[in-house]
Structure 1
Amino acid sequence: MSGAADYFSDFAAALKYWRGKRGYSQLRLSTESEISQRHISFLESGRSQPSKDLILKLGMVLEIPLRQRNVMLLSAGYAPAYQERKLSDPELGAVRQALDFMLAQQAPYPALVVDRLWNLAMANAPAAGMMRWLLGLPDDAALPTDGSVNVLKLMLDPHGVRQYLHNWEEVGADLLHWIQREAMGDGPGSAATVLLGELLALPGVAGMQGVGHLAPNLDRRALPFLPVTIRKDGVELNLFTTIATLGTPHDVTVHELRVESFFPADEASAAWFRARHC
């Protein structure tokens, strides 16, 4: 959070940034927030100081991430409104149960839970088995879910999963979009910006097609999703993924969790997972 706080010198700078990022004019923001355009202008110029309730209201209208709403509150001299706890916190026990249920329902196909920086937080048995197979680990090897394993690094490292990703450049370009969005929101010096730099420093990543502007090339896709093709030991798996988030959370950690589910794109891939799950 300190990186984002350094990025915005004060509340006025933060408000202008997020209004511009969402493509709102002062008039539109005034209309949707029911705050006078004159007051919004004064807030952005620093001539007026916001109340805590006003900051929270603007955060909702502009759909600002909870972490960044806390940053805006801090920049205006208020305490954060949203808690940030570890997923292992007893108070998040119900959330873990819900996630366990979602992961179990995805079997025999893989599913995992990551935080906003794509650090692994949870994985179902098929996902753990697939990762052990790709990384050449023993079947009984523990798969850390304490945040020490970064899925993006595993996917893009030439000595990791990338060596088995037939279309790793397409997959990598899409993955980088997620972390770039976090880096843009957090600003220079943030953990997201540091991670983006580490990923771009991996061999071959910075030179991938589309990475310069990080915009997906939708014209070249015949399928309505990005396929993930894995080839190892004579096995070819054709998959696609979906990413889900938890709705209306009031905790920073929960707000930032993502559930990535893998689905087979053909019957041969489906049969491979079903056979392993038996």
Structure 2
Amino acid sequence: MDTVAHAAEHQYFSDFGAALRYWRGKRGISQLRLALDAGISQRHLSFLETGRAQPGRELILKLGLVLDIPLRQRNAMLLAAGFAPAYRERSLSDPELGAVMQALDFMLAQQAPYPALVVDRLWNLVMANEPAANMMRLFLGMPSHAPIPRDGSVNVLKLILDPNGLRQYLVNWEDVCTDLLQWVQREAMGDGPGSEATALLDELMALPGIALAASQPNLERRALPFLPVTLKKDDIALNLFTTITTLGTPHDVTVHELRLESFFPADDSSRRWFQAQAEKGPKPA
């Protein structure tokens, strides 16, 4: 992928100063604090934000690090200041990402007999272990060997929140909805208007019942250390919770945006169900 062209296509700030003001405000950091952390004067920082001064490439990278700006947006800030992007964005099939894919395959395999999947920043499915695939087939009424696309064409959030998808079996879908939307809202705030994240958020909010559920958080939720995910279909009832894992110290936009979601049983009956499914083994085609 052409990193420069792709980053330019997804640049949402008119100039570097606007982007810097946005991210400083988003992080709640004063000009004085940011100037001190970046090793520049407050006057110079003020000039950068108003466009009276132009930053160097190294300073942009330093500010991106201090403000903990996502790599995609650091590239956008570099472009806005007239520099080429510093971080590449590659397809997962790129040979240079082979070690990353092997690590993800290993983690997915280790999660069995419990489900796990890998998504990108917009929750498009890119990898899944067999327990996750089997769980999707079961609750979506798919044949036992139906392929689960792993090319990013399936959006997990749409799959969960669509009334005709998993939501019809998700007992506590309102609570899950509120938590899931926060991930997309965070991306939309980072990307700005007109972004893919903003479009996805609008699409999700347009689904029946989502806007109402998102505006009415459940204040009676049990004081659990995790959000339970309760699925029920016919005589199958599963109580789960999930964890999200990201890859540390990435220097690639694609790797930086990958998330591994692992599902764990929240009670003994759910644990026994997954173990029983594993003992059955794959069904003959």
What is the TM-score normalised by the length of structure 2? Answer: 0.93
- 1:221 maps to 222
Q: Tell me, in whole angstroms, the C-alpha distance in 1 between the residues paired with 2:161 and 2:34.
A: 40
RMSD of aligned C-alpha atoms? Answer: 1.3
Write the letter of the residue equivalent to 2:114: Y
- 1:212 maps to 215
Q: Tell me, in whole angstroms, the C-alpha distance in 1 between the residues paired with 2:187 and 2:212.
A: 21
Q: 1:70 aligns with which of 75, 79, 87?
A: 75
Q: 1:47 aligns with which of 32, 49, 52?
A: 52
Q: Tell me, in whole angstroms, the C-alpha distance in 2 between the residues paired with 1:17 and 1:3.
A: 19
Write the letter of the residue equivalent to 1:169: E
**Given that residues 229 and 237 in structure 1 are in contact (C-alpha distance below 8 angstroms), is that contact kept between their aligned partners in structure 2?**
yes
Answering whether residue 59 of structure 2 is matched by residue 58 of structure 1, we say no
1:133 CA displacement: 0.6
1:12 CA displacement: 0.3
What is the TM-score normalised by the length of structure 1? Answer: 0.95
Secondary structure of the residue aligned to 2:212 is: coil
Write the letter of the residue equivalent to 1:249: P
Q: 1:113 aligns with which of 114, 118, 121?
A: 118
1:264 CA displacement: 0.2
Identify the structure with bigger relative contact order (alpha carbons < 8 Å, sequence gap 6+): 1
- 1:235–1:135 Cα change, 3 Å: same
**Given that residues 171 and 226 in structure 1 are in contact (C-alpha distance below 8 angstroms), is that contact kept between their aligned partners in structure 2?**
yes
- 1:97 maps to 102
**Given that residues 230 and 238 in structure 1 are in contact (C-alpha distance below 8 angstroms), is that contact kept between their aligned partners in structure 2?**
yes
- 2:32 maps to 27
Answering whether residue 267 of structure 2 is matched by residue 266 of structure 1, we say yes
- 1:235 maps to 236
Q: 1:192 aligns with which of 185, 189, 197?
A: 197
Q: 1:183 aligns with which of 172, 184, 188?
A: 188
Secondary structure of the residue aligned to 1:206 is: helix
1:220 CA displacement: 3.2
1:45 CA displacement: 1.1
Answering whether residue 61 of structure 2 is matched by residue 79 of structure 1, we say no
Q: Tell me, in whole angstroms, the C-alpha distance in 2 between the residues paired with 1:53 and 1:203.
A: 47
**Given that residues 3 and 187 in structure 1 are in contact (C-alpha distance below 8 angstroms), is that contact kept between their aligned partners in structure 2?**
no
1:9 CA displacement: 1.2
- How many residues are treated as equivalent by the alignment? 273
1:116 CA displacement: 0.2
CA offsets 1:173-223 (integer angstroms, 9 cap, x no match): 100000011111111111111111110111111111xx238xx66773321
Secondary structure of the residue aligned to 2:210 is: coil
Write the letter of the residue equivalent to 1:166: V
Question: 5+ residue gaps in structure 2?
Answer: 1-6, 280-285
Write the letter of the residue equivalent to 2:271: A
- 1:219–1:235 Cα change, 3 Å: closer
- 2:129 maps to 124
1:97 CA displacement: 0.2
CA offsets 1:143-167 (integer angstroms, 9 cap, x no match): 0000000000000000000000000
**Given that residues 120 and 147 in structure 1 are in contact (C-alpha distance below 8 angstroms), is that contact kept between their aligned partners in structure 2?**
yes
